[in-house]
Structure 1
């Protein structure tokens, strides 16, 4: 299942090159794990979040929920992103960003942007914190996956990490777009889709199973900070070809949100 080097640009130290306006081009660092000619959903998610973060910003409001529908293979190369307001509102509004490649919509994101208020008096969180990144160890387990995106990551794990139930920290040195810094929200949400690979129930490869996700849903209850994304992940495979990867998301200050990915679990036929 080793991916070959794709023909997408590799001469920039970022996941994407901005071509002007709403046009972008992926680099080798955005390459997917299942096919060499597609993009990994993780940086795609980060770029779509970047576009909504910059879209008609409103003081005192922040993005809180992100639903990504993956409408087919995400081709490498050039594409455009279209943004709009689906439901305007004074305190709550629904935004949309669509990635259009090869004449079709490849990924659609809808996101709630909500007004923030001072509620420290009643603040609380029941998600258990995972061991901090300083107590984790370097991990090469992601190397079972091919592709430029996985190769762009630095990974660490806690001792309790195992297949089906993972405790992993991820970081990247690459910005989302060439020539500009990435906000913590864009940087960390641009890593979340990797959750489906950090504690796989089965090792990917010929004669095994593939289990791509068809969506990604992220709820952010606290604005994230820093560069490290912590994933406390549980993976469920049902007996009928459907699965779920569910994660509590962490940064250096503790839990900040949750993510889920519904999976299609399929056997891979051995090569002849």
Structure 2
């Protein structure tokens, strides 16, 4: 399978002393001077993994709170080990600029062990979408700074589906780890689950990624599996896939935004 990519080596952030300085393509779709929220979740995942990850522990949950929009400013990420038990480790991250705290994250790591015997009463099935074999989607008002293949069209009724692949390093020339890759892809749960036929009317305030395992390759498939909204408040959920099957879920909460994004 040969996939075309427009990737270049320019990372989203450059580490200078203790600060992460954003590149121009780190901006989000809502405003040209706003950092993309998916990158903040990725930075939190990176910091927690580097400082608190362990080979015998599985990252099982990452919750990212995006409670303040940030302009394109240098970012710092501080972490705290909250709990270190025999079967569980919990770590927090605080994401800041010189204007103050812009987000926070909490991760739960669980000890791997023997899989229980027996048959589960419910198992999420693998989706029926083959990996992409052509170039990623390009064009439109805001070009995603990652490779994106739309399996379903924007605004079509029913569950939205996409394949994604990171095309830039997150920091300097560091490889994007499977956990960071999942954290970056998880933010796409909001536009995929909260889209309407005339565009995206909700901007997410957080997301919670849960993982049974880590993705095995560069491609991550995202499938919208639920949306509810009332009085301008929404919640959406997606299932995350790789080329071998489903590996996790993501749940988001979102608030109505006066200026919708995209549309036809």
TM-score category (smaller protein)? 0.7 to 0.9
2:77 is the alignment partner of 1:86: no
- TM-score, normalisation: structure 1: 0.81
State whether structure 2 residue 177 is matched by structure 1 residue 183.
yes
1:8 alignment partner in structure 2: none
SS across alignment from 2:89: strand
Aligned length: 251
Measure how far apart 1:120 and its partner are: 6.1
Structure 2, unpaired ranges of 5+:
1-7
Quote how far apart the aligned CAs of 1:82 are: 0.2
Aligned pair in 2 of structure 1 residues 54, 219: CA closer, same or farther (>3 Å)?
Answer: same
Structure 2 CA distance for aligned equivalents of residues 50 and 92 of structure 1: 19
The answer to whether the 8 A contact 2:146-2:164 is kept is no
Match of 1:6 in 2: none
* Residue 55 of structure 2 corresponds to residue 64 of structure 1: no
Equivalent positions of 1:177-256 (< 5 A) are 177-198=171-192, 200-204=195-199, 210-234=201-225, 236-256=227-247
Shift of 1:87: 2.2
- State the shift of 1:65 in Å: 0.4
CA distance in structure 1 between the partners assigned to 2:162 and 2:220 by the alignment: 8
1:191 Cα deviation from its structure 2 partner:
2.0
SS of residue in 2 equivalent to 1:17: strand
Distance 1:135 1:241 in 2: 35
Q: Kindly state the Cα deviation for residue 237 of structure 1 after the two structures are TM-superposed.
A: 4.8
User: Does structure 1 conserve the Cα–Cα contact (< 8 Å) formed by 2:156 and 2:197?
Assistant: no
1:3-58 CA-to-partner distances (Å, cap 9, x unmatched) read xxxxxxxx96112111134x211112221111111111112211211111111333
In structure 2, the partner of 1:268 is 259
Work out the CA distance in 2 between the residues paired with 1:87 and 1:104.
Answer: 26
Match of 1:17 in 2: 14
Equivalent residue in structure 2 for 1:115, among 111, 118, 124: 111
Moved more, 116-125 or 37-46: 116-125
Q: For the structure 1 residues 151 and 63, does the alpha-carbon distance in structure 2 shift closer, same or farther, using more than 3 Å as the test?
A: closer
Which SS does the other structure have where 2:69 is aligned? coil
Structure 2 contact 83–91 (Cα < 8 Å) conserved: yes
Does residue 129 in structure 1 map to residue 126 in structure 2?
yes
Aligned equivalents of 1:12 and 1:102: distance in 2?
27
Structure 2: how far apart are the matches of 1:173 and 1:228? 11
CA distance in 1, matches of 2:159, 2:140: 17
- CA contact under 8 A between 2:94 and 2:101: conserved in structure 1? yes
